[in-house]
Copies of this chain bind each other. A is one copy, B any other.
Amino acid sequence: MAVDRLRSIIERVERLEEERKALAGDIKDIFSEAKSAGFDVKVIKQIISLRKKEPAEVEEQETLLDLYRRALGM
């Protein structure tokens, strides 16, 4: 078996997973900073999620959401 190749694969994945963990920590820190600055973190996450979508898609979904809510008396 190509053991050096196997070892290299494993070590590269482990390094990238470490970086991914560090990034997750950095993101968490930014949200802590946002909270300390008085922002609502849940709402910031909604903003980030909205910015990923096409504006036309966002508008269509919001129109439907309003329609369904009114129909249900919410």
Interface set of A (CB-CB < 8 Å, partner B): 1-3, 5-7, 9-10, 12-14, 16-17, 19-20, 23-24, 26-27, 30-31, 33-34, 37, 39-40, 42-44, 46-48, 50-51, 61, 64-65, 67-69, 71-72, 74
List of B residues within 8 angstroms of A6 by Cβ: 34, 39, 44, 68, 71-72
User: Quick one: given A23-B20, A37-B2, are A44 and B31 in contact (CB under 8 Å)?
Assistant: no
Are B20 and A71 in contact (CB-based, < 8 A)?
no
Determine if A64 and B51 form an interchain contact, defined as CB atoms under 8 angstroms apart.
no
- Which chain B residues border A5 with CB–CB below 8 Å? 37, 39
Closest to A66 in B: B43
Q: Which residues of B contact A71 (CB under 8 A)?
A: 1, 3, 6
